[in-house]
Chain A
Amino acid sequence: MVGQNKKKTFLKALLYLLPSLLVVALFVVYPMFHTLRMSFYEDFNIFSKEGSGFGLSSYIWVLEDPTFHKALLNTFIYAIVTVPVSIVISLFIAILLDSKIRGSKFFQTAFFLPYVTNAIAIGLAFRFIFHSEFGIFNKFLAVFGIDAIQWLNDPDWSMFTLCIFGIWSALAFKIVIFLAGLQGIDPQLYQAARIDEAGRWKQFTKITLPQLGPILAYQFVIATIGAFKCYEEVIGLFGDDGPLHSATTMVYYMYDKFYNANRYTIAAASGVLMFLIIMVFTFIQLRMSNRKAAQ
Chain B
Amino acid sequence: MDIRLENLTKTFSNKDRQVETIAVNNFSFTIPSGHLAGLLGPSGCGKSTTLFLLAGLLEPTSGKIFFGDEDVTALPPEKRGIGLVFQNYALYPHMSVYDNIAFPLRNSKSFREQHKDARERKSEIDRIVQETAKIVAIEELLDRKPAQLSGGQQQRVAIARAIAKKPKVLLLDEPLSNLDARLRIQTREEIRRIQQATGITTVFVTHDQEEAMSITDEIIIMKDGIIQQIAQPQETYIHPANVFVAQFLGNPPINLIDVSICDGWIILNDRKTVKTKLQDGNYKMGIRPESFALGTQDSEEAVAATVVYKATIGRDFQVRFNINGRLCEALIESDSRIETGDNVFFTMKRSGVHLFSTDGEREEIW
Contact = CB atoms under 8 A, between A and B. Distances in A.
Contacts of A213: 94
A186 interface: yes
A211 interface: yes
User: Which bucket holds chain B's interface residue count?
Assistant: 20 to 34
A210 interface: yes
B55 interface: yes
A188 B86 CA distance: 8
Contacts of B78: 194-199
Contacts of A188: 86, 88, 90
Given A202-B107, A206-B103, A194 B76 contact: yes
B103 A189 contact: no
Contacts of A193: 92, 103
B94 A211 contact: yes
Contacts of A195: 55, 57, 77-78, 82-84, 104, 162
B50 to A, nearest CB: 16
Interface string A44-82: 000000000000000000000000000000000000000
A193 B161 CA distance: 11
Contacts of A197: 78-79, 104, 107-109, 165
A192 interface: yes
Interface string B88-108: 101111110000000110011
A262 interface: no
A192 B94 contact: no
A198 B103 contact: yes
Contacts of B86: 188, 191-192
Interface residues of A, number: 18
Contacts of B77: 191, 194-195
A193 B79 CA distance: 12
A135 B278 CA distance: 93
Contacts of A199: 78, 107
A182 to B, nearest CB: 15
A217 interface: no
A207 interface: yes
Residue of B88, B95, B104, B108 contacting most chain A CB atoms (<10 Å): B104
Contact of A186 (B79, B83, B90, B95): B90
A206 B92 contact: yes
Contacts of B108: 197
Interface in A162-194: 186, 188-189, 191-194
A10 to B, nearest CB: 35
Nearest first, the 6 A-B pairs at minimum CB distance are A196-B104, A188-B90, A210-B94, A197-B107, A192-B90, A197-B78
Interface of A: 186, 188-189, 191-199, 202, 206-207, 210-211, 213
13 contacts: A186-B90, A191-B57, A191-B86, A192-B90, A192-B91, A195-B84, A197-B78, A197-B104, A197-B108, A197-B109, A197-B165, A198-B78, A198-B107
Given A192-B86, A197-B104, 17 more contacts: A188-B90, A189-B92, A193-B103, A194-B76, A194-B77, A195-B57, A195-B77, A195-B82, A195-B104, A196-B78, A196-B107, A196-B165, A197-B107, A197-B109, A198-B78, A198-B103, A206-B92
